[in-house]
Structure 1
Amino acid sequence: MRNWWYKNAIFYSLDVETFMDSDGDGIGDFQGLTSRLDYLSALGITCLWLLPFYPSPNRDNGYDVMDYYNIDPRLGTLGDFVEFMHQAGERGIRVMIDLVVNHTSNLHPWFQAARSDKNSKYHDYYVWVENPPQTQPEQINFPGEQESIWEYDEKAGAYYLHHFYKEQPDLNIANPEVQEEIRKIMGFWLQLGVSGFRIDAAPFLINPVGIPESPNLESFLREMREFLISRRGDAVLLAEANVPPEKIPVYFGNGDRCQILFNFLLNQHIFLALARQDSQALREGLKILPDIPQIGQWLNFVRHHDELTLDGLSKSEQEEIFQAFAPEKNMQIFGHGVRRRLPPMLAGDRRRIELTYSLLFSLPGTPLLRYGEEIGMGDDLSLPGRDSVRTVMQWSDAHNGGFSTASPDALAQPVIKEGEYGYKRVNVATQQRDRDSLINWMERVIGIRKQCPQFGWGKWQILETDSECVFAHCCDWEGKAALAVHNLSDKPCIARLQVQDYKYLFDLFSDSQYEPLDGDGDLSSIPLEAYGYRWLQVNRKG
């Protein structure tokens, strides 16, 4: 078997500063994260994706980088990072990190040199113009928080390009010296043991907008991949590319660019299907995905550290999701996003929460969990912007949810104190003592998912049913097949599959104890509870 380890991995995303504080200063750190590796291993996690941990003024959650070759001193030292990498490896956990090279902080020494001296080589690390073109509405990433992609710098006497906040000047990726610097950054962290990189804002990395006379920057993805595998043959590139279906092949190439892409398109269609309690949107979401190279993989997710973006849907479809899951204006962001975690979106309905994660773990691709999803953490809508879904991890019902011994006002991000999702009610320690808790359900589903490589490796097909509320699909791999059936509605039903190719063997996983199917492997009639789900081991007939 090829060493495409990511095909059957369980990804887990976290921000070091909000995960575990080891020294009581209110900020999570690498020593704290290292102390929780046994927890992550027991949960079944096989790959961690770490959000930026570089030195930063933190005007954009660490995505405004000041030094690509170091650790934010609040989070520890390079020595702490190396020890963390060693301990993760001892537990069979790989580590991927964010590669944030579309832009830097405006406090980065490169930018400070660039604005101070036009003859400095660093001046050409950025994109400058004296008379900027008019910014078009579609170029604005943060409507309401951003008016232009050009900002005047008095010291330089020119405007610089920034596709994101004005404190984040874009790097000139067309400059060969910048490309060489990116390779050095990759080489540095690969030497310290990481298994790959999440390319932040990948479309802007290769988008020539604003860069005069730029070459074809799409080829740089291939050059990054070539460098990656020359240093570590099993390392991967994961692209954050929320783009239309016709642009997705740019990122996979012929299997010679990125190996993994976030499945933004399917994610949006999942929520549309949940809002409608109808499988049609989910079926459409799968059907519009282009064919990808065999080496390629989708990374499926429910929620992550940013908003739930709905920009791939029509305005009316966005409104359906808003009405169902984010009806108040302060639950929405940027005009097409939802700034909530899943449990409050689903009104805490355990049946719907399980159904959604059952879909996540069985849909074709690799699943990603965001820290706290395993215990059903909520959000804090009193916090600004995306911070609503970035509160600290809730470990116990102790002070600050067991995250830190510091005073609450010293925390990197607040802890949720009150209400249904406060740390007194929702935390790891309490749930680990409860056999029926969400965290124990998560451990089970992860364990079963690892035993079903068909979902990650297999060839998939949607199965026809006679119920609009039922979504059924099957994945075949190396002579074995797994079939999953989900009832998206609030009423029990009988799923009648219009399939002749498979015969039933036994149930793998389900929302309740169902009777084995009757008949000689017959799949034509499958009972499901309201919001019910069943994973079945099946065989091809003959």
Structure 2
Amino acid sequence: MKTNYSILCFAAMLMFSSTGLKAQAQKDATDKKWWKEAVVYQIYPRSFKDSNGDGIGDLKGIISKLDYLKSLGINAIWLNPIYESPNDDNGYDISNYREIMKDFGTMEDFDLLLKGMHERGIKLIMDLVVNHSSDEHEWFKQASSSRDNPYRDYYHWWPAEKGKPPYRWSFFDVNSEAWKYDAKTDSYYLHYFSRKQPDLNWENPKLRQEVYDIMRFWLDKGIDGFRMDAFQYISKDTTWPELPKGYEKEINKYYGEGPHLHDYIQEMNREVLSKYPNAMTVAEGAGSSPEDAMRFVDPDRKELNIAYHFESVGVGNHVKDFGLVKYKEIFSRYDDYFKDKGWLSIFIANHDQPRMVSKFGNDSPEFRTISSKMLSTFVMTMRGTTFYYYGDEIGMKNIRFDSIEDYNDVDTRNKYLGLKEKGGDLKAFLEGQKQTSRENGRTPMQWNADENGGFTTGKPWLKVNPDYKTVNVAAEEKDPNSILNYFRKLVELRKNEPTLVYGEYTILDKENPNVFAYSRELNGKKMLILLNFSEKTASFNINIPLDKATVVLDNYSNTKKIKNNSLRPYEAVIIELK
């Protein structure tokens, strides 16, 4: 039988095409960018360092600690909002996007901070909060003055004569209603978060141009990028369809991810971001799945750089509750989807979460240090841009307030008031907040054993964790085996080892309920990471001989060889395989 020459040619073409696509995908995955290699340190400015004794952290306080920040080895800082704000939601309710909140200082202070950071090789990422503004922003003052005001369509309104607005649940409101009645214009305005945070109407092209002008203002000042707050919600289905039963499980789908979400982001890229090609752009809450997240950062779509998804921190209140196997599955599923293109963030703590060691580790006196080191090892050895929260480098833990009076957070306080109105179990609520409240991650930085941990000479805006006399920077600087000095070693290793940034990730022993084991491989170099997430000795099963392997770094500081395929409580080991 004669072989059809054209069929052979076609088959060869397909083979080379497939090979070419694979090679291109691998090139995309390892395409070097500063924002892929960055270790981003998040600062909650209100809680970092107070310079003037008013109990509130400020820009001059951060400036005074720039040498400390450089000593960590980090090369970028994400700064939570410092814009002018009445402070209903700790700065996420912005009344002027081009001014600095007086609590934090002045624009001159900001310019000095930016200059000092850049002199030390540290880049600055600002929060871009444009799903909503403050109700004290001039736009909203104008919009709520009359139905005919030119700024009216900067926000979402529902006229009272149309009857009750379609139900939408508010994340922060006492009564859980996202439509607030405005008597002056006999209308309701939409607020997904606090009633003092009216949602901006991105359907209005004038509003979008205002946002783009704000972005240019800060980028022209020299900042290095934006973390985009609640960005999945900027586009909404303004037909306001009725919410189906169980909508809470897919809140992003029904509250955001509107029909024009990606149209708007692509427009933003064309008009602003493409003019600043080195800027980092991070999409917070990038959808409900890897597929959703990819749409934000697929290079071919020309939108943003980094997807910051919440599935891994939204699994439960403690790793013991939801199980390590589920946790591993989430990270592995996302990594598999992003292995050839797009880029993820890696984080397990931020200003909206309890402390890392209290949620994913063990903050008892026996295990706080070793489990903190283990968690830092995890964050620094996964593929993706590392985001690391202030205070975790010294193992700060949940403060666990007993009284509602200790809380400042609008989320906790409003939920408490709403529960009180309904006659709910307030004691049980407060007990739960000891583990889950955002306030646990916002207590002041513990610098030394002086009063208030050296954070302030005045009364701190939020109580300092009482353990500050032993858990503080000064004490850990002196201890070569401290969490702080281990963190520095991890940062240095990641900066010097491309395998830990760009290397292929492979999950190992995936059904193990106690050990998270994976390899990273790049250009023939292979590294193995073994992490025991339990307080007991745990064994693992991998088909990799370890007799000739070299331990690069471990959190017990005395591991020479792995024996009997077992790990001590919360042990973390980074191994180079021969």
Identity %: 31
Q: Is the 8 A contact 1:132 1:159 kept in 2?
A: no
The range that moved more, 76-85 or 102-111, is 76-85
**Residues 1:183 and 2:202 aligned together:** no
Residue of structure 2 in register with 1:145 after alignment: 174
Q: Secondary structure at the match of 2:100?
A: coil
Q: How does 1:389-428 map to 2 (within 5 A)?
A: 389-406=441-458, 408=459, 411-416=460-465, 418=466, 421=467, 423-428=468-473
Q: Secondary structure at the match of 1:391?
A: coil
Would the alpha carbon gap of residues 499 and 404 (structure 1) be closer, same or farther in structure 2, given more than 3 Å must change? same
Distance 2:509 2:266 in 1: 39
Find the partner of 1:99 among 115, 128, 138.
128
Residue of structure 1 in register with 2:551 after alignment: 507
Distance 2:339 2:505 in 1: 14
The range that moved more, 342-351 or 468-477, is 342-351
TM-score (norm 1): 0.83
Q: How does 1:114-153 map to 2 (within 5 A)?
A: 114-130=143-159, 131=162, 135-136=166-167, 139-142=169-172, 145-153=174-182
More helix by share: 2
Residue of structure 1 in register with 2:576 after alignment: 537
Distance 1:194 1:18 in 2: 22
Question: How many angstroms does 1:283 deviate by?
Answer: 3.0
Q: Is the 8 A contact 1:21 1:403 kept in 2?
A: yes
Distance 2:305 2:470 in 1: 40
Which has more radius of gyration?
Answer: 2
**Residues 1:459 and 2:470 aligned together:** no
Residue deviations 1:292-332, cap 9 Å, x none? Answer: 38563222222211135xxxxxxxxxxxxxxxxxxxxxxxx
**Residues 1:361 and 2:361 aligned together:** no
Residue deviations 1:390-428, cap 9 Å, x none? Answer: 12111111232211222x2xx333323x3xx2x222211
Would the alpha carbon gap of residues 341 and 178 (structure 1) be closer, same or farther in structure 2, given more than 3 Å must change? farther
Question: How many angstroms does 1:439 deviate by?
Answer: 1.3
Question: How many angstroms does 1:527 deviate by?
Answer: 4.1
For 1:351, the aligned partner's letter is: I
Residue deviations 1:442-472, cap 9 Å, x none? Answer: 2222222222322222221112378543321
Question: How many angstroms does 1:135 deviate by?
Answer: 5.0
The range that moved more, 297-306 or 279-288, is 279-288
Residue of structure 2 in register with 1:388 after alignment: 440
Distance 1:426 1:210 in 2: 53
TM-score (norm 2): 0.78
Residue deviations 1:246-277, cap 9 Å, x none? Answer: 4323322445222112242233459765557x
Q: Secondary structure at the match of 1:84?
A: helix
Distance 2:209 2:400 in 1: 42
Would the alpha carbon gap of residues 354 and 146 (structure 1) be closer, same or farther in structure 2, given more than 3 Å must change? farther
Residue deviations 1:27-57, cap 9 Å, x none? Answer: 2221111111110110111110011101101
**Residues 1:260 and 2:306 aligned together:** yes
Q: Is the 8 A contact 1:263 1:300 kept in 2?
A: no
For 2:372, the aligned partner's letter is: I
Q: Secondary structure at the match of 2:375?
A: helix
Distance 1:148 1:397 in 2: 45
For 1:392, the aligned partner's letter is: P
Q: Secondary structure at the match of 1:264?
A: coil
Residue of structure 2 in register with 1:71 after alignment: 100
CA RMSD of aligned residues (A): 2.9
Distance 1:478 1:537 in 2: 13
Question: How many angstroms does 1:176 deviate by?
Answer: 0.4
Residue deviations 1:227-247, cap 9 Å, x none? Answer: 343332110211111642143
Residue of structure 2 in register with 1:241 after alignment: 285
Distance 2:225 2:112 in 1: 18
Residue of structure 2 in register with 1:307 after alignment: 353
Residue of structure 2 in register with 1:291 after alignment: 337
Distance 2:212 2:339 in 1: 25
Distance 1:132 1:210 in 2: 15
**Residues 1:200 and 2:200 aligned together:** no
Would the alpha carbon gap of residues 203 and 116 (structure 1) be closer, same or farther in structure 2, given more than 3 Å must change? same
Aligned length, in residue pairs: 492
Distance 1:367 1:425 in 2: 27
Distance 1:486 1:60 in 2: 37
Would the alpha carbon gap of residues 379 and 490 (structure 1) be closer, same or farther in structure 2, given more than 3 Å must change? closer
The range that moved more, 46-55 or 73-82, is 73-82
